[in-house]
Amino acid sequence: MKKNNFFDEEELQNRLDLAAAYHLADIYGFSDIIWNHITCKTSSNKNTFLINKFGLRYDEVTASNLLEIDLDGNIISGQGEINYTGFVIHGAIHKDRKDLHCVMHSHSKSGLAVSCLKDGLEILIQDSAMFHNRISYHDWQGMSTNTEECDSISKDLGKNNSMILRNHGLLTCGKTISEAFMLMYYLDRACKVQIDLNLTNKEIIKPSDNILEFAAGQYEDPKYKLGEHEWPALKRMLKKNNSIYDQ
């Protein structure tokens, strides 16, 4: 996408990275035809966020066709309509969590399965330790079309960056787009492993709370900033695949 007079450098980079996240989500199985959303703040000097245009597949999203909407769900720039549920789910978090830049929601098969389990996510593997005592739950209230649900979504998320929407799917957030994406990658994989292990009907080794808390703290070390090292490699993959996200 060529630099133009409509977007400053910060917004342009956000658009490019968000569009890349949509294409990567499609590759990794986080897309759902034309449903679901990934959003990010437009820029540090705007009180708006970017979202996909309703009706497009994830692999059709580009930096230029993303829509800019305000915290009331009004389209500020771009042509097209949004799926209002995207505003209800994402708008609440963008409004209340000023520390977060990106919000990602998926209906992946394993995520949906775990969202229906009464005990939710079990922390069983190294890569899921980052969610130990750091994942929230939000009870299903039907289709997210009522703005009254915004407050409960934000309240249930609390200070965590990951949440399981019961009977609905997964949600992750990040200070960067890459962080939100990698949280979804690891959360979805944790769900897959849990489902696979339960199918074996074998006794499962479950780590102690002490070791899980220690490991979770290791993941919070700034040296291992989630997404920082993976993101360039992921975008190289998109380039290799001749993705159109940067148009």
Q: Is residue 4 part of a domain?
A: no
Do β-strands 162-165 and 136-138 pair in parallel, antiparallel, or remain unpaired?
parallel
Q: Is residue 125 part of a domain?
A: yes
Q: Is residue 2 part of a domain?
A: no
Q: What is the value of pTM for the model shown? A: 0.95
Whole domain around residue 212: which residue ranges?
A: 9-240
Q: Is residue 168 part of a domain?
A: yes
- Give the whole-angstrom CA distance, residue 167 versus residue 110: 12
202-211 pLDDT tens trace = 999 999 999 9
Would the pLDDT of 111 be above 60? Answer: yes
Q: Is residue 18 part of a domain?
A: yes
Q: Is residue 247 part of a domain?
A: no
22-72 pLDDT tens trace = 999 999 999 999 999 999 999 999 999 999 999 999 999 999 999 999 999
DSSP E strands in the chain: the ranges are 38-41, 48-51, 67-70, 75-77, 102-106, 136-138, 162-165, 169-174
Would the pLDDT of 147 be above 80? Answer: no
Name the nearest CA neighbour of 38 among 102, 94, 97.
102
The percentage of the chain sitting over the pLDDT mark of 70, rounded to a whole number, equals 96
- Give the whole-angstrom CA distance, residue 212 versus residue 234: 28
Would the pLDDT of 4 be above 70? Answer: no
Q: Given this model, what pLDDT does residue 144 score? A: 62
Provide the CATH number for the domain around residue 189: 3.40.225.10
- Give the whole-angstrom CA distance, residue 54 versus residue 117: 30
Q: Given this model, what pLDDT does residue 149 score? A: 76
Look over the chain and give the mean of its residue pLDDT values, rounded to a whole number: 94
Mean pLDDT lowest among 58-62, 146-150, 162-166, 184-188: 146-150
Would the pLDDT of 115 be above 90? Answer: yes
- Give the whole-angstrom CA distance, residue 24 versus residue 26: 5
Q: Given this model, what pLDDT does residue 134 score? A: 97
Mean pLDDT lowest among 25-39, 178-192, 199-213, 215-229: 215-229
Q: Given this model, what pLDDT does residue 61 score? A: 98
Name the nearest CA neighbour of 73 among 95, 57, 58.
95
Q: Is residue 185 part of a domain?
A: yes
If one counts the domains in the chain, the total is 1
Q: Is residue 155 part of a domain?
A: yes
Q: Residue 162 corresponds to which amino acid?
A: S
